[in-house]
Amino acid sequence: MIERLNHVAIVVPDLEAAIRLYKDVLGATVTEPIDLPAHGVTVAFIDLGNTKIELLYPLGEKSPVMSYLNKNSSGGVHHLCFEVDDIKVTCDHLVEKGMRILGNGEPELGAHGKPVIFLHPKDFCGTLIEIEQT
Ligand code: CO
């Protein structure tokens, strides 16, 4: 069912510092930060070829990543994103298996303009899982 690991999202307390860290220490190519007001985050991507790292920084007071940063002041891994072919089929399968889809239970357009769902971390070894239709 799941295919490639699309990205690992990391919440950071200082986006510019995080970008410098990945560029200067690890020699990675990092995109310019992009504000995504609809998602309450500013993002920068590191393309590693086999997958991406998504640096997430809160945007606005209702940012969904603010509570994470409040609990983890130095930041940390926020979610993993797996690719699937057909998100509707995947949703039906996951619900049948007793998994909880966050929000209204329906796919929504994610940060990359593609349909995504998020699964409850308590159903997945304490890890927030994003599923993206590619
Ligand atoms: Co994501």
Q: How far is Cα 20 from Cα 16, in angstroms, rounded to an integer?
A: 6
What local confidence, expressed as pLDDT, does residue 111 receive?
81
For residue 37, the SS3 value is helix
Q: Give dist(CA 8, CA 43) in Å, integer.
A: 12
Known catalytic residue at 132: no
Q: What's the pTM? A: 0.92
72, 8 Cβ separation under 8 angstroms: no
Domain range enclosing 96: 5-133
Backbone angles phi, psi at 33, to 5 degrees: -65, 140
Please give the tally of structural domains in the chain. 1
* pLDDT per residue of the chain (134 residues) written in tens, 0 to 9: 899 999 999 999 999 999 999 999 999 999 999 999 988 999 999 999 999 999 999 998 889 899 999 999 999 999 999 999 999 999 999 999 999 999 988 999 988 889 999 999 999 999 999 999 99
HSE, side-chain direction, 13 A CA sphere, residue 81: 21
> What distance in angstroms lies between residue 81's CA and the mean position of ligand 1's atoms?
6
pLDDT of res. 5? 97
At residue 92, the pLDDT reads: 95
The CATH number given to whatever domain includes residue 128 is 3.10.180.10
**Which is the catalytic residue, given 61, 83, 96, 130?**
130
Q: How far is the CA of 42 from the centre of ligand 1 (A)?
A: 12
